[in-house]
Amino acid sequence: MSESDRLDIAAIMRQLPHRYPFLLVDRVLECVAGEHCLALKNVTVNEPFFQGHFPHRPVMPGVLIIEALAQAAGILAFKTAKVVPDVNTRFYFVAIDNARFRKPVEPGDQLMLRVELKRSFKGIWKFECLAQVEGKEVASAEIMVAPETKAPPEPKAPPRSGATG
């Protein structure tokens, strides 16, 4: 594994448009274009969602576990496509199938995010995703993303000069 397969938080922020409190990937341990990505999310008690989910026993919402997996899939998609994300290029979460939640994720857990590219067909990228804590499955899903590439805005034509009328 090369150093370029690993991403710290600064490199992740260059790969994803998300920012606090919605950036849910803290580190990428390994990312092999066209194959797989292994990332982690350190779950801390000061996460903003724990105030309401649930105050008496904080549990990370399942939809946020899925979002963390989708963000890891996005990193793999950008690396595989050899695209540097910018304001005109994004991968959007377009579908989820077979989501399963096995065990609660609580403050202090380290959520390991494993995504494997299964296929890319007609612009849809399909990933097999697994979230684990201490080697035990906590959630899994098939996630699909699709790129959106906006053309840069056309330059405005200079104002016409000359007499009118």
Show which residues are catalytic.
53
Cis peptide leading into residue 58 (ω within 30°): no
27 is written with which tokens? Answer: 């580190």
Contact 129, 73 (CB under 8 A): yes
Structural contact between residues 117 and 125, judged by C-beta atoms closer than 8 angstroms? yes
Look up residue 16 and give its two tokens: 């994803």
